[in-house]
Amino acid sequence: MRKLCFLAAFLITNFVAAAQSSYSVVFDITSGDTSLQKSLVRWLRGISDANPEAKLQVVLYGQSLPMVMKEKSVVAMAVTELARKPNIRFTVCALALKRHNIQPSELITGVVSVPDGIHEIVARQGEGFGYIKVSN
């Protein structure tokens, strides 16, 4: 019986550790609302502080692009800080950049362009990422 209890405790501990290490979320933001952008930054910090191994990705398109632009962002310092973390990615839809006439050089350091933002979200979900739409 003692061996069985030990085995159960071992399996539960390993299951919990595996679940925590596989924390992966893709955030979809299209809004230009700076209060939502600030909320997103708080969420990213909170998740990353609680679980430094969590994989977090932000996909931006639509009216959210100023969030990651050097000259327009109200959260530029936070985005720069978070983008330095190996487990957090900020990605911008190249189609949206083109549509809004924004050059990649206008983006905050660490923010990368992907060919298609929606495809990026679908691909992450296919890899088991959870999905959060950042909205009011």
Q: Which domain holds residue 119?
A: 23-134
**Is residue 106 one of the residues assigned to a domain?**
yes
Question: DSSP states of 63-87 as a string?
Answer: GGGGGGBTTT-SSHHHHHHHHTSTT
Pair of tokens at residue 95: 């189609």
Q: Confirm whether 46 is domain-assigned.
A: yes
pTM over 0.85: no
CATH of the domain at 35: 3.40.1260.10
Is there a domain that residue 3 lies in? Answer: no
Pairing of strands 24-29, 130-134: parallel
Q: How many domains in the chain?
A: 1
14 in a domain, yes or no? Answer: no
pLDDT tens, 61-104?
A: 999 999 999 999 999 999 999 999 999 999 999 999 999 999 99
79 contact partners, CB below 8 Å, separation of at least 6? 41, 67, 68, 73, 90, 108, 110, 111
Distance CA 121, CA 81 (A): 23
Is 82 inside any structural domain? yes
Judge whether residue 16 has pLDDT over 70: no
**17 part of a folded domain:** no
- Residue 2 falls within a domain, yes or no? no
